[in-house]
Amino acid sequence: MSEPIIEVDHVSMKFNLSSEKVDNFKEYFVKRIKNSIKQDEFWALNDINFKMNRGESVALIGLNGCGKSTLLKTIAGVLKPTKGKVTVRGTLAPLIELGAGFDMDLTARENVFLNGAILGYSRSTMKEFYDGIVDFSELGEFMDVPIKNFSSGMLARLAFAIATIGTPDILIVDEVLSVGDFRFQEKCEKRIQSMMKKDTSLLFVSHSMEQVQNICQRAIWIEKGSVVEDGLSAEVGERYKNAYNPC
Amino acid sequence: MKQYLSNYERFRPLLYELVARDVKIKYRKSALGVLWTLLNPLMMMAILSIVFSNLFRFDIENYSLYLLAGQIIFNFYNESTSGAMTAILGNAALIKKVYIPKYLFVVSRITSSGINILSSFCALILVMIFTRSELHWTIFLAIIPLTYLFVFSLGIGLILAALTVRFRDVIHLYSVFVTALMYLTPVIYSISMLPNWVQFIVKLNPLTGILTIFRNVVIYNTIPSLLVSGATVIAALGIGIWVFYKQQDSFILNL
């Protein structure tokens, strides 16, 4: 058996609560002298431990603020864990927040190349993908418009189309499917499923159990930064739903 | 080390895109566009040389050229480091969401200022032709002080970018500092006009060394010693990388 594609090894993540954020000299020195830079700690992740194999599709479920997005960010390399280690063997396509790399002053066409570069694709590679992106996002006539004039749905379509080009080894999807109309959501789901057929692993976050059970085989239930349960999405999803549903 | 290089290779297209974006946005919707990078230093030179050659009667041969050379060097330093200072802050949205080597933002700001300095350099050559000054072969050596300047600004830019994330005060403080620095660099005056003790201070400024080399090879057809400036520049870069590297993992927590 091959090595796991993502290895999350006893990862913990500490934040200092921002009520005490010191970002100017005066405060810093005053606090330094008083020795009161208060370490109001908050552990967003607590000793998370799991492995994900190539081709697997895993959903992370849990209430708001339980640490799902923080976990995704440590996997994507945006955050460095306070303790523990994350190993990723392969290329990542993070759909953590759609359109993170957009520059509102540039046109859609220019943004395609900018975002492609953020994902690590060169200009010539992006030229090959360009038609596919225009096609998928259905924005053909708007490609030369600065995207500050776009609606949020149009932005989401463009962002999704760019983020899912090529065949990344791992696709990270964080609640982005909740944007756009139902027709586009279906299209996105299809795109994700066709990518999974090409051996792309999927890490998926959603609050819709229906989507989770549709798309993923395995689910990890997280609560207050710790793993509660890790197993088949159908079973874990059911128990998760019952736990928060008194009736 | 190898890992760093392959990482850089992967993100090189991004560097190109970031620089292109900076340049595009800067001149979007201006009728003359990139031509401004040529016109701007020329106009500034015209104003300053009228003011200083009539008002203060500086006795410097071909003052416009002398002034323009100084301006090119100083403006690049000012523009690139001020840009680099907010590079991390300004791209917070991106840094919080995708993994990108963070130094790339600093490098891109410095590089886009570098494009400006090239066209300012064309302005300088135009002035040289227009004032019928001799063009010497040593002008090709201008690449050396310009490289020094680039590396020096990169080092300072890295330090500033890292500090600004921690303390926003740096932004306000730095604009004052730059004004002081301008008077401590022989841009509008010549160093020999100063009393001895001021000369000493002015010579401590690394920009003075770089500017002196630049003027020597471009205007005076001499090749000065490159060693002291070179060492200063490398030290600045070294400190810059060290500070930035130490700080970069905590950027996201302070953005």
Give the confidence band of B108 by pLDDT, cuts at 50, 70, 90. very high
C-alpha A79/C-alpha A73 separation (Å) is 6
**CA–CA distance, A103 with A93 (Å, rounded to integer):** 19
Q: Convert the pLDDT of each residue in B211-226 to its tens digit.
A: 999 999 988 888 888 8
Res A102 pLDDT > 90: no
Please give the pLDDT value at position A247.
54
Phi/psi class of residue A180: alpha, beta or left (left: φ > 0; alpha: ψ in -120 to 50)?
left
How many angstroms separate the CA of residue B61 from the nearest CA in chain A?
A: 46
Packing angle, helices B206-218 and B63-85, rounded to 10: 140
- pLDDT reported for residue B211: 93
Instruction: Answer whether residue A98 is part of any domain.
Output: yes
In a domain, A185, yes or no: yes
Mean pLDDT of B109-113: 91
pLDDT in tens, A181-201: 788 888 888 888 888 888 888
Confidence check: pLDDT of B76 > 80: yes
Does any domain span residue A85? yes
CB contact under 8 A, A118 and B25: no
Give A52-103 as a DSSP string: E-TT-EEEEE--TTSSHHHHHHHHHTSS--SEEEEEE-S-EEEESSTTTT--
* Chain B residues with CB-CB distance to A92 below 8 A: 99
Is the pLDDT at B109 greater than 80? The verdict is yes
Residue of B98, B105, B167, B249 to mutate when probing chain A, most A C-beta within 10 A: B98
Q: How confident is the model at residue B235 (pLDDT cuts 50, 70, 90)?
A: very high
Domain enclosing residue A28, as ranges: 6-32+39-243
In chain B, alpha helices (H) = 2-27, 36-54, 63-85, 87-90, 92-95, 103-130, 143-166, 169-183, 196-204, 206-218, 227-247, 251-254
DSSP string, A138-200: T-GGGTTSBGGGS-HHHHHHHHHHHHT-S--SEEEEESGGGSS-HHHHHHHHHHHHHHHHTT-
Q: In chain B, what residues touch A122 (CB-CB under 8 Å)?
A: 12-13
pLDDT digits (tens, 9 = 90+) for B3-26: 777 778 888 888 888 888 888 887
Query: What CATH number does residue A23 fall under?
Result: 3.40.50.300
Q: Could you tell me what percent of chain B has a pLDDT over 90?
A: 35
What's the predicted TM-score (pTM) here?
Answer: 0.83
B104: closest CA of chain A, how far (Å): 11
Q: Which chain B residues are within 8 Å of A127, Cβ to Cβ?
A: none
Q: Is the pLDDT of residue B204 over 70?
A: yes
Check: CB of residue A144 under 8 Å from CB of residue A179. no
Residue A20 has pLDDT above 60, yes or no: no
Picking from A100, A105, A121, the nearest residue to B94 by CB comes out as A100
* pLDDT confidence band for B77 (50 / 70 / 90): very high
The reply to whether residue A25 touches residue B167, judged by beta carbons under 8 angstroms, is yes
In a domain, A1, yes or no: no
Measured between CA atoms, the residue of chain A closest to residue B14 is A117
Kindly list the residues of chain A whose beta carbon comes within 8 Å of any beta carbon in chain B. Answer: 15-16, 21, 23-26, 28, 73, 76-80, 92, 94, 96-97, 100-101, 103, 105-106, 110, 113-114, 116-118, 120-123
Instruction: Identify which of A94, A105, A123 has the shortest CB distance to residue B98.
Output: A94
Instruction: Please report which confidence band the pLDDT of residue B185 belongs to, taking 50, 70 and 90 as the band edges.
Output: very high
Local structure of A223: helix, strand or coil: strand
pLDDT for position A38: 58
List, for residues B128-150, the tens digit of each pLDDT value.
888 888 788 888 888 999 999 99
pLDDT over 60 at A18, yes or no: no
> Does A123 contact B13 at a Cβ distance shorter than 8 Å?
yes
Q: Which of A28, A97, A106 sits opposite B97 (nearest CB)?
A: A97
Q: Which of A72, A54, A59, A6 is nearest to A235 (CA)?
A: A59
Q: Is the separation of the CB atoms in B137 and B219 below 8 Å?
A: no
Residue A98 has pLDDT above 90, yes or no: no
Q: Is the pLDDT of residue A86 over 70?
A: yes
Q: Check if the beta carbon of residue B221 is closer than 8 Å to that of residue B134.
A: yes
Whether the CB-CB separation of A189 and A215 falls below 8 Å is answered with: yes
B173 has pLDDT over 80: yes
pLDDT of the residue at B210: 94
More confident residue, B37 or B244: B244
- Structure token digits, residue A114: 């900018």
Mean pLDDT of A225-243: 84
Mean pLDDT in residue range A232-236: 84
Q: Do A16 and B254 touch (CB under 8 A)?
A: no
- Say what the ipTM of the complex is: 0.75
Q: Which residues contact A135 (CB under 8 A, 6 or more apart)?
A: none
The reply to whether residue A105 touches residue B25, judged by beta carbons under 8 angstroms, is yes
CA distance A65 to A42: 12
CA distance A185 to A193: 12
When the pLDDT of each residue in chain A is averaged and rounded to a whole number, the result is: 82
What is the tally of structural domains in chain A? 1
| Chain B CB contacts of A176 below 8 Å | none
